[in-house]
Structure 1
Amino acid sequence: MKLRTLQLLLFVLCLIISTIQPLSAMEQKRFIPAGFQLYYGSDPQVLDQLQQRIQPGQVIVIELRGLSPAQIQKLADRAHQEKAKLIAYLSVGELGQIEYQNFQQYLQQHAPQISLADLTLSKNETFQSWQMDVSQPAWRDFLIQRVKQIYQQPVDGLFLDTVDTVDFYITNQAWKIPRRVQSVKAMVALIREVKAVSPEKFILQNRGLNLIGNSVFVGDATGVFVPGLNLQQVHPHNPDGLLWESAYMHAGDWIESKEREMIQIQKQGFTSVFTLGYTDTNAERNQFFQKSRAAGFIPAWGSSTTRLHLELTESE
């Protein structure tokens, strides 16, 4: 009887070990970010500096437009050598000047009955770009095409910028609430659709903090709740990272609640939280790094949002 009991215990132990081993292997393969750099420009000297600064575990954001294939390959080789991730910029909520002609050509070829004016909401005068309605199929299809084109380059993922256009959808009083809901849901779906194109790629979402919780309130004094990305829970097509740009610049109940939410997101470990601070804001550099590190966030610092194409961001 004792022998049979011992045999049963050994069998159960073997089952437990066989279950644990694959999980350990998966954990070893999982990329855990340890640093962050961002540079939108193409100056050869700055690119050389960027390459020299690449360290293990870093996520490095670049703008592919303006870079030669050789420059991209050189950065990619160094990143992969250092076990870092090189990811490419993509604006999902705004159409910038750099993509303007490409999108106009896309419309002529695939949706000639639609004009750019039909898809835009307003102009971002600071960056001379157009806020786009992501619920429009022509814009979404164009973006997915761009994702596939970008993935032909030796990059490890994407930096999804201008996700905060969703804030305009939420508060746009020219739209009735059901219309706002349509575009908010479309932004959530678009982020996940981009991730689904190639799930092994690293997706870093910039801003869009209204989307990060379990639900999103859409309306004014009254409204409705729609499902958010819920970054505290595992989802195969949620972004791998979230950037809080201009972190610690503002105070107030809303941003403080979002900060607490991001701390919990970081602790859960499904989505890593990055922070980017700027000299020309109310944030103080030392305090920015102290708060970021205390929260477990991954920080970087720049002089201004308008100089990201001229100089590298800095670590602590």
Structure 2
Amino acid sequence: MKKLLLLSASLFIFYIICKGMIYLFFYGDLFKVHSFHIFYGHPNEAIVAKLATKDAAIVEPTAFTKEQTSNLQEEGVRLFGYVSLMQLENWNEKLKKKVIPSDYAKQNGNTIYIKEWDTYVMNISEKHYRDILLWKIKSEIATKELDGIFFDTVDDLDYYFRDDPVLQNKMRKGYSLLLDEIKQKYPELLIIQNRGFDSYKTVSRKKVDGLLWEGFSEKDIKSSEWAKNWLTYLKKEQRWGHVRVMTVVTDEASKKQSKKEKFPAFMRTGDTYQ
């Protein structure tokens, strides 16, 4: 009996060691993230204290000082700086000043205005616009030594150009070129993209480290074939270490579902990440 217990204990220890080695060498750094927070406002002491309790945080880098980000990283928090890929950061005055007319995406000769957010869809196939995004990455993310980039609005690649495959492919190619340039200039930076599942499968698979499923819903998983299919696909992608899937949820049932799927979840309250 004693030998059996010793054998069981040895096998358990061996399993723990092997599991740790697999995560260390087979899976990426994002697989160490089990909790995260999203905050786009200017932080006060309470917000900084809350962020310090998480494994990772997605923040608007222009709103944080180098001292604040360094202090959070000393607490073991991995920080990802927000960059809007496909929509103009209309509030970012420094960035807006760099934009020229060819940086705006067009359909049927017209710019694409998004009334809800008072902004425009941008032309990621245009090198000048990609250079603007690289400028923000350099000045606000690389210079502040953050751990990575969070690309928001990637979903626009799938939505706004779905009826024009030629233009959609052109835009996706621009995104792919941007990712390649980031990896060349800043190989240490991790990259998370928000949604844009078709674009992930088409161009950014193995070029991004994380995929955020904003709007993950337990109800959708039960009733939507679209959600079921993507859940199956993304679970497999995560299981094989290709990408770390994270979610934003708005109710406890969805949070529980996300945990069941081994996707770290952030509970969003209200309409903004302030």
Same fold (TM over 0.5): yes
Distance apart, 1:196 and its partner CA: 3.6
Listed as ranges, the matches of 1:193-212 within 5 Å are 193-212=181-200
Compare 204-213 and 121-130 and name the one that shifted more.
121-130
TM-score normalised by length of structure 2 = 0.78
Aligned counterpart for 1:27 among listed residues 22, 25, 28: 25
Match of 1:189 in 2: 177
Listed as ranges, the matches of 1:91-240 within 5 Å are 91-99=84-92, 101-107=93-99, 114-115=100-101, 118-119=104-105, 121-150=111-140, 151-172=142-163, 175=164, 177-213=165-201, 215=202, 228-230=203-205, 235=206, 238-240=207-209
Distance 2:27 2:159 in 1: 39
Q: Taking every aligned residue pair, what percent have the same amino acid on both sides? A: 20
| Residue 273, structure 1, aligned to residue 245, structure 2 | yes
Distance 2:211 2:248 in 1: 11
Match of 1:287 in 2: 253
Distance apart, 1:25 and its partner CA: 11
Distance apart, 1:118 and its partner CA: 4.6
Distance apart, 1:139 and its partner CA: 0.8
Q: What is the number of residues matched between the two proteins?
A: 245
Aligned counterpart for 1:262 among listed residues 234, 250, 266: 234
User: Contact 2:215–2:249 (CA<8 Å) still a contact in 1?
Assistant: yes
Distance 2:224 2:147 in 1: 36
Distance 2:70 2:22 in 1: 28
| Residue 300, structure 1, aligned to residue 257, structure 2 | no
Provide structure 2 residue ranges, at least 5 long, that are not aligned to the other structure: 1-20
Distance 2:22 2:259 in 1: 27
Distance 2:208 2:252 in 1: 28
User: Contact 1:244–1:273 (CA<8 Å) still a contact in 2?
Assistant: yes
Match of 2:15 in 1: none
Paired AA for residue 206 in structure 1: N
TM-score normalised by length of structure 1 = 0.69
Alpha carbon RMSD of aligned pairs, Å? 2.7
User: Contact 2:157–2:171 (CA<8 Å) still a contact in 1?
Assistant: yes
Point out the structure with max Rg over C-alpha. 1
Distance 2:33 2:180 in 1: 20
Distance 2:94 2:69 in 1: 25
Distance apart, 1:259 and its partner CA: 1.2
Quick one: structure 1 residues 122 and 271, their matched pair in 2 at CA, closer, same or farther if it must change by over 3 Å? same
User: Contact 1:104–1:116 (CA<8 Å) still a contact in 2?
Assistant: no
Provide structure 1 residue ranges, at least 5 long, that are not aligned to the other structure: 1-22, 108-113, 216-227, 279-284, 310-316
Distance 1:45 1:182 in 2: 44
Paired AA for residue 53 in structure 1: T
Partner SS for 2:117 = coil
